[in-house]
Structure 1
Amino acid sequence: MPKFKNFAARKGVQDAARNNQMVKIGRQIMAEVRATGISDPNHNFKLKQLVVKARAINMPVDNIERAIKKGAGDLEGEEYVEIRYEGYGPGGVAVLVHCLTDNRNRSGAEVRATFNKRKGNMGEPNCVAWMFEEKGVLTIDRAETDADEDTVMMTALDAGAEDLIASEDEFEIQTQPSDFEAVKTALEEAGYTISNAEVAMVPKNTVKVTGDDAKNMIKMIETFEDNDDVQHVYTNMEIDEEELAALQG
């Protein structure tokens, strides 16, 4: 499992700007409602998950409702389009950058500038997408459960999960996107608290980076995450925990 994932999770808790996260989730809510035409979270699973995420960062209820109404066309709102940029970071790391933007030119220029500044290169469409697979990913913090790995695995596999990856801090369950909701429901009904649940791009293989390459990769991802247009950043970077801790310090 790419050890960078642990860094990403900790960064989200420790230093992500709350307003930045609210802007991103608000855009995602608008885009989801506009794309599906379904504004009731009880009948739109993805929208329901976005509302849960919004509440988890204390996004005001009025803001959530306003984003839903903008997506439904009940209030005037910006028109956002989804764009995926691809490229390579230092050390040959594959990078996918998913954006929701109302200005393609601005987003493209800013993403390219970030790649260049951190010794990477923005590539053509599909230059690295083949290195990733779309998977449902559910995370259970080991500190939040008394169950052992075998017990969690059996519950997940019986519900249709593909794999369980155990680390010191967490259990990560991977599913096919079509099985994601069923597995999540089964885990919750079994009493497990899920700390993160999303359909994400998971790398098929990882690339280990060290030294300046690792430092520049982390700075690149931080810059992308600070950009309101960027909704998700996926990489196949792997970094040793010791080096990660030193870079974070």
Structure 2
Amino acid sequence: MSGHSKWHNIQGRKNAQDAKRGKIFQKIAHDLYVAAKAGGVDPEMNASLRLVVEKAKAANMPKENIQRALDKASGAGGQKFEEVTYEGYGTAGVAILVETSTDNINRTVSSIRNSFKHFGGALGTTGSVAFQFDRKGYLVINRLDFPNLDEDTVLEAALEAGAEDVQTQADVFEIYTLPADFQTVEASLTDAGYQFEESEVTMIAQNPMSISEDDREKLDKLVDELEENEDVLAVYTTAN
């Protein structure tokens, strides 16, 4: 893994979004959906889902919002959703992946395409940017929560649990896993007493790129509009 910290990008987005309660609920709904799709909708049988449900309750997310995300993952109510990933480029050539879950592909692709156009981007073809990302399990331990925890201890515990890599930052430990190992690693470290600031299966840019402030502003507006789309689960970019 490169020395780039995904956490710094997450923090940057969080700082801009904390005032937007809907954004917080959307992120949790995405995590609920992903956890439920991977391990089932019963929190008692799915450790990853149980952790996200606890996060949802701590954020005072309405019960109906939680249930809606779980129903979407299970197909309850007869709705049939398809997972589709769209690829494109934003300002300054930044690669963008948009993960969606939709019951109407025509509606979704039209909306996604329009969002790209609004901010000078362009929707691409399948495979046009996906090769610039790696799917990884990602867990973050806040060092302030464990002030006496050292790098060697975390590295040993994570690798024994099946993690692929650990990166130490000033404020957090970042743990990376193969997607298939994510739930096992998360459950093992949780049982060992660790708590996570973030825990998800996500996309990691292989070579993050720096962009100007003007381009950043345009990119953020594009990402915001995409994230406001009810069909969108997550948006990933190669911007650093």
| Range with greater deviation from structure 2 (58-67 or 196-205) | 58-67
Gaps of 5+ in 2: none
Deviation, structure 1 residue 222: 1.4
| Structure 2 Cα separation of the partners of residues 66 and 207 of structure 1 | 36
Aligned AA for 1:160? G
Residue equivalent to 2:218 = 216
Contact 1:160–1:179 (Cα < 8 Å) also in 2: yes
| Structure 2 Cα separation of the partners of residues 206 and 22 of structure 1 | 22
| Structure 2 Cα separation of the partners of residues 110 and 64 of structure 1 | 25
Aligned residue for 1:42, secondary structure, equals coil
Matches within 5 A, 1:124-135: 124-135=125-136
1:28 is matched with which residue: 23, 27, 33?
33
Residue equivalent to 1:15 = 20
Residue equivalent to 2:113 = 112
| Structure 2 Cα separation of the partners of residues 19 and 78 of structure 1 | 25
Give the TM-score normalised by structure 1: 0.79
Count of aligned residue pairs for this structure pair: 234
Gaps of 5+ in 1: 239-249
Partner deviation per Cα, 1:19-53 (whole Å, 9 max, x = no partner):
96289459937x956x98x5433334564455344
Give the TM-score normalised by structure 2: 0.82
Aligned AA for 2:126? P
Matches within 5 A, 1:1-249: 1=4, 2=6, 3-17=8-22, 21=26, 24-25=29-30, 28=33, 32=36, 38-44=40-46, 47-48=49-50, 50-61=52-63, 64-65=66-67, 68=70, 76=77, 78-146=79-147, 147-238=149-240
Contact 1:224–1:233 (Cα < 8 Å) also in 2: yes
| Structure 1 Cα separation of the partners of residues 24 and 199 of structure 2 | 21
Partner deviation per Cα, 1:91-123 (whole Å, 9 max, x = no partner):
111110011122222211221111112221110
| Structure 1 Cα separation of the partners of residues 72 and 220 of structure 2 | 34
Deviation, structure 1 residue 70: 7.1
Aligned AA for 1:187? L
Relative to structure 1, the CA distance from residue 162 to residue 12 in structure 2 (aligned partners, 3 Å threshold; closer, same or farther) is farther
| Structure 2 Cα separation of the partners of residues 175 and 22 of structure 1 | 21
Partner deviation per Cα, 1:204-223 (whole Å, 9 max, x = no partner):
11111113211111111111
Contact 2:17–2:23 (Cα < 8 Å) also in 1: no
